[in-house]
Amino acid sequence: MAILTPMPNAPVHRAMRRTPFAVIALAALLGGCMVGPDYVRPAADAPGPYKAADNVPAGWKEATPADQFPRGHWWEIYNDPELNRLEDAAMRANPSLVVAYANYRAAQAQVGTARAGLFPVVNGGAAGSRAKGAPYAEPRNAVSFDANASWELDLWGQVRRAVEASQANAAAAGDEYAGAMLSIQAELAQDYFSLRTADSGQRLLDRTVDAYERSLDLTQNRYNAGVAARADVVQAEAQLKSAQASAIDNRATRASYEHAIAVLVGVPPQSFSLAVAGDSPPPPSVPPGLPSQLLERRPDIAAAERRVAAANAEIGVATAAFYPTINLAAAGGVTGSSFANLFSLPATVWSIGASAAQPLFDGGLRKSALAQNEAAYDAAVATYKSTVLTGFQEVQDNLTTLAVLADEAVVQQQAVDAAQRSVELTTNQYKAGIVAFLNVVTAQAVQFNNERTLVILRGRQLLASVALVKAIGGGWNVDVPVVPPAAMASAAR
């Protein structure tokens, strides 16, 4: 670095005074230059109209990430106050959300770290001493104050590209935080509906146990009256015990879902319980022809797109490393034997200068770094496109599942109604001595299996509806306001 240091009381040449200003002016002129490719969002082809059984919705427009649209409290579409309460509790106390938000805050702080490179670094110091020794007979004091500044000019946009990359990464971290919220919300809703399905199954099993107890009493009375065989009693007893065992097992299944919900809301499982509720809510109606703008709000798609933008900016950072760097430096200070003469002109020293550096040989380090960032960009683009395709697949899967399950539930309800009539007729025939008790057992088993299948179907409809909500990024109403993630995380902390 060239250092210009005037002697005390020496005149400073006018051209020397203009030198730093000329360098600064040159820096300002070149400051708008940014090497590396400017970001263009990669194309992700939208599919044609989605198919959902016999219903073909309207066409979908081209997808672009739109995670900034409000998602709302999508779970309110189920009109279940208990679910609403649990979702709010999870957003306040789930530990995983605290981790995701901390990662988001760290990414935001990284933006400030990168942006600091746009500004000069200034340091200052002070010192004082008292010493005695040759050639001085008396002790002497020495005090000094100094400051220095250095500034690497961002002529080629290396720092600005780094800021661009960190901003994109921070946005991606925010999307990942939103994705964590959506995943926890969906997991909680699915666990809750699984628990309610277990409640419905428990009511079915309890009714079945009651019916089998009546059948056992019937066969025991007929056996005592000498009009039924002992085998009828044994069959009725075996059927009852099997139903009782299933009821016990179902309670264990319900407990596991209850414990999972406790963890999601941040409560120890041993101190958490949910009362048995009535029938599960019906699955919400899916609007025909869901627009693709809903899928654009998926946090994972938005995060993947932001990672592409960050990778693109990193190419610019690596490209700028091939260009020379220019540094400005300035230093000044005062020194003296006392505070009284510290700021006199002979005690003042200063320097100012500039330096330039150009790497001449690095063994291919910069070239390899550029190739690495270009490969990372290609991988990020492929990941983004894969995420979009996966999103469309998940929406298609759940739309089809909901349509098929709706048709299946109608037919299954008809099967339950027919099985109930069969049990009534067969039981009356057994009482009249027309058929054997085995016919009753068979009819009751058919009724139970059909009713259990219907309960499971209704639970699957609810789970599929939650999966569809998650697949499209959280609900299909884009007009419902939502609390910003940062505010929700602050409430959770």
pLDDT digits 0-9 by tens, 116-141: 988 999 998 888 777 776 665 677 77
Whether residue 281 has pLDDT greater than 90: no
CA distance 417 to 205: 17
Structure confidence at residue 101 as a pLDDT band (50, 70, 90): confident
User: Given this model, what pLDDT does residue 288 score?
Assistant: 59
Whether residue 483 has pLDDT greater than 90: no
Summarised one tens digit per residue, pLDDT across range 417-440 is 999 999 999 999 999 989 999 999
CA distance 205 to 197: 12
Question: Does 369 or 5 have the greater pLDDT score?
Answer: 369
Whether residue 46 has pLDDT greater than 70: no
User: Given this model, what pLDDT does residue 284 score?
Assistant: 81
Residue 173 sits in a domain of what CATH number?
Answer: 1.20.1600.10
Detail the DSSP E strand segments found in 324-368.
Answer: 325-336, 348-357
Residue 358 is assigned to a structural domain of this protein: no
Structure confidence at residue 414 as a pLDDT band (50, 70, 90): very high
| Structure-token pair, residue 203 | 């009511």
Q: What are phi and psi of 257, to 5 degrees?
A: -70, -40
Question: Does 69 or 43 have the greater pLDDT score?
Answer: 43
Q: Give the whole-number percent of the chain exceeding pLDDT 70.
A: 78
Residue 254 is assigned to a structural domain of this protein: yes
Whether residue 52 has pLDDT greater than 80: no
Residue 306 is assigned to a structural domain of this protein: yes
Alpha carbon distances (Å) from 32 to 115, 153, 240, 326:
16, 11, 83, 15
- CB proximity list for 340: less than 8 A, separation 6 or greater: none
Question: Does 297 or 273 have the greater pLDDT score?
Answer: 273
Whether residue 175 has pLDDT greater than 80: yes
Residue 152 is assigned to a structural domain of this protein: no
User: Given this model, what pLDDT does residue 60 score?
Assistant: 44
Number of residues that make up the chain = 493
Q: Residue 291: name the closest of 49, 79, 54 by CA.
A: 49
Whether residue 277 has pLDDT greater than 90: no
Residue 362 is assigned to a structural domain of this protein: no
The alpha carbon dihedral of 426, 428, 431, 435 has a sign of: negative
Domain count, the chain: 1
Summarised one tens digit per residue, pLDDT across range 304-343 is 999 999 999 999 999 988 988 888 899 887 776 666 666 5
Residue 397 is assigned to a structural domain of this protein: yes
User: Given this model, what pLDDT does residue 61 score?
Assistant: 47
For residue 197, count other CB atoms closer than 10 A to its CB.
Answer: 23
Whether residue 79 has pLDDT greater than 60: yes
Please state, rounded to an integer, the average pLDDT across all residues of the chain: 82
Query: Which domain range does residue 78 map to?
Result: 44-119+167-321+367-492
Residue 263 is assigned to a structural domain of this protein: yes
Structure confidence at residue 42 as a pLDDT band (50, 70, 90): confident
Residue 280 is assigned to a structural domain of this protein: yes
Structure confidence at residue 47 as a pLDDT band (50, 70, 90): low
Region 219-236: mean pLDDT is 92
Degrees, nearest 5: CA angle 91-92-93: 100
